[in-house]
Homo-oligomer: A and B are copies of this chain.
Amino acid sequence: MHFSCPQKNLLNSISIVQKSVSSKTTLTILKGIYLEAKMGQLKLVGTDLEIGIENIIEADVRKEGSIVIDARLFSEIIRKLPDSNVEISIDENSQILIKCEHTEINILSQSASEFPELPVVEEEQTYLIPQEIFRNMIRQTVFATSQDESRPILTGVLVEIEESILNMVALDGYRLALRRGSINAVDNYKVVIPAKTLNEISRIMNMDEDEPIKVSLTENHGLFTIGNTKLISRLLEGEFINYNQILPKEYKSRVKINTKNLLNSIERASLLGREGKSNLVKFTIKDDKMIITSNSELGKVYEEIPIQLEGNDLEIAFNSKYFIEALKVIEDEEIFITLTTGVSPGIIRPVDNDNYVYLVLPVRLH
């Protein structure tokens, strides 16, 4: 193998694929980046066997070939090279030689044949989604996935395509986030994508690009193509919870409130509650205001926010974390909070927008 390419391009490519390389793995080969020089192109691949990322850049290929280089060392070396052309070759002992201006670096390599091949994903069920919309949909749902590996299906986000509707749903037993979108599709499809995969996709998406992300799904794998980058991930197996059953259809109280004011007030109220377990904040809804209070051995907080109330007065308490996380991903200025009793779930929706629903369970007051 023998090729050269600009340092900047190589560094960018390394930083894209490196995120799928696990530093914790005990398999040395998985700590490496696979390099393949072929027909004017350099392909870089990294994988942790769950997620694989592949990126292609142009290169001046003088001799085709492939090799595996330790990802961390390779990244550090290329980062420190000057903004110039980098030439990489392999000698007869399979040592890698990196040349750039007046620098020559020799490092050990591993055989490319030991590197696991990424699964081949047939591009049959293929959808195009604008990057900005997909990134926003991920942001508004992925935080509500479960961190608890004992129910693996809940560590992913349900992606549900029904004709021209695209729904993404995450839930963890305490709250549920549903983001609705539209898609150009004629068929129905349902998969559960690991939260980690969605976070990686979000990171890779380059918002400067107008090009949509291409999503191809099979039963077990998803292929996500963004420009010259492909991310391949396994999907989660199993049946997702029928979330429609969980969403209440009716309510007794509807509160209209400013999103930012509510977020700030709950954040202050939660400052003193943090030491406790449930981060309890209490809402007292009455007439034209909502009073938010919290209490701990450190002190107490009292907050008053103007609201428009339709329906009954109510007292209800929540874990502040579940409210804060949702309010942070809602960009709309005002939300409705709909409630039934002090022990039944609360629902948050943007006032001027029908695309987001967030359900949160209350904490029972003693």
Contact = CB atoms under 8 A, between A and B. Distances in A.
Interface string A60-84: 0000000000100100110011100
Contact of A268 (B81, B267, B271, B304): B81
Interface stretch (A14-22, A173-181, A209-217, A293-301): A293-301
A303 interface: yes
Nearest to A100: B268
A101 to B, nearest CB: 9
A312 interface: no
How many monomers of this chain does the complex have? 2
A305 interface: yes
Contacts of A104: 301-303
Nearest to A268: B80
Given A73-B298, A95-B299, A298-B73, A272 B80 contact: no
Given A264-B82, A268-B77, A271-B76, A105 B304 contact: no
Contacts of A277: none
Given A103-B265, A268-B103, A305-B102, A299 B80 contact: no
A106 B73 contact: no
B299 A103 contact: no
B105 A298 contact: no
Nearest to A270: B80
A300 B264 contact: no
Interface in A144-203: none
B299 A106 contact: yes
A107 interface: yes
Contacts of A299: 73, 95-96, 105-108
Q: Which residue, A70, A96, A102, A272, has most C-beta atoms of chain B within 10 A? A: A102
A76 B100 CA distance: 49
Question: Which of under 10, 10 to 19, 20 to 34, or 35 or more describes the interface residues of A?
Answer: 20 to 34
Contacts of A305: 102
Nearest to A295: B106
B106 A300 contact: yes
A93 to B, nearest CB: 12
Nearest to A275: B73
Contacts of A271: 73, 76-77, 80
B73 A107 contact: no
Given A102-B303, A271-B73, A303-B102, A298 B107 contact: yes
A145 B304 CA distance: 53
A108 B264 contact: no
A113 to B, nearest CB: 21
Interface in A264-323: 264-265, 267-268, 271-272, 298-305
30 contacts: A70-B298, A73-B271, A73-B272, A73-B299, A76-B271, A77-B271, A80-B268, A95-B299, A96-B299, A102-B265, A102-B303, A102-B304, A102-B305, A103-B265, A103-B268, A103-B301, A103-B302, A103-B303, A103-B304, A104-B302, A104-B303, A105-B268, A105-B299, A105-B301, A105-B302, A106-B299, A106-B300, A106-B301, A107-B298, A108-B298
Shortest 4 CB-CB contacts between residues of A and residues of B: A107-B299, A102-B304, A104-B302, A80-B268
